[in-house]
Amino acid sequence: MKLIIPIEVAAELEPKLPDDVVVVRVDSEGNLDGDATDAEVYYSWFLLKPTTLQRILTSARQLRWHHAPNAGVNHIITPKYIERNLILTNGAGVHAIPIAEFVIGYMLSYAKQLPRLQKLHTQHRWQRGFQIEELLDKTLLIIGAGEIGQEIAVRAKAFGMRILGSRRHPQPLPNFEKVVGANGWKPLLSEADYVVVATPLTWETKGMIDDEVFQLMPSHAYLINIARGAIVDESALTKALQAGKIAGAALDTVFTEPLSAESPLWLLPNVFITPHCSAHSPRTKERSLALFLDNLTRYRQGRPLRNLVDQTAGY
């Protein structure tokens, strides 16, 4: 069996592969260090360029399975890609822990007014008398109760929060009081103190956090987006924040990245912007390699693969 693997993980991955596996390394530009015409498996890496993917698909005509380390694969599933009829698996769950920790950080930052306190610190001012909240008994709505959403719920539950969620196929989940279907979350908005967007970007979810959503949210509610920027209507969000329709937002993703220096979002005092870094962790590579190796064993044994992507649904 021949594998195409990213040069970024070759040193760690190759010693763990079976002896009968032949490796072809690929760099971020799609340059291969060997013949990939008969390669059966492709393990891509983060920030996969469309041109790199196209070079692999052109070179590896016998490719059967592609594993992507990302949870979101909207940038991969194009009409031409679907035509190849490849098995596609993703890295769902690999980033769940660091992202969940970031979400708790965003909520604590807002509830405890940490930006305001930090500003007072830099000004050498000892000021008290403004309201500081608790997370206890606050309602958290997680739109997208997948692996990331469930890790968020574990940590939010430890703070005594009430947790609601949505997912494509609703089912009872630990730590959630209620889980509704993909179209059932809007009636829950009026109950939410915090709304976390954790759903994949698909043609159905693009722009779904729109003006109607902000009208349904309480004025004290706080939006957190750790999914994809295109899920949120950025113009509607900006207007809602400026008009005080919602209390604030934490945005780790935006529609166009990097966010333009001219974006009005930078100037809003009730917005916390981070540079799409909530998934960062020194353990990401370790978890990604472990998932791929487990799936490689399953693939060679003809067993079901983990994180199989429904390319029609988009995740």
* Residues taking part in catalysis: 228, 257, 276
Q: Locate 26 and state its tokens.
A: 């690929």
Classify residue 305 by its DSSP letter: P
Give the C-alpha separation, 26 to 29, whole Å.
8
**Hey, what long-range contacts does 52-56 have (CB within 8 A, 24 or more apart)?**
52/26, 52/28, 53/81, 54/30, 54/80, 55/30, 56/4, 56/26, 56/30
Q: Contact 106/234 with Cβ under 8 angstroms?
A: no
Q: 96-111 and 147-158 helices cross at what angle (nearest 10)?
A: 40
What DSSP string runs through 14-50? GGGS-TT-EEEEE-TT--BSS--TT--EEE--SS--H
- Residues contacting residue 261 through CB under 8 Å, at least 6 positions apart: none
Give the C-alpha separation, 95 to 233, whole Å.
25
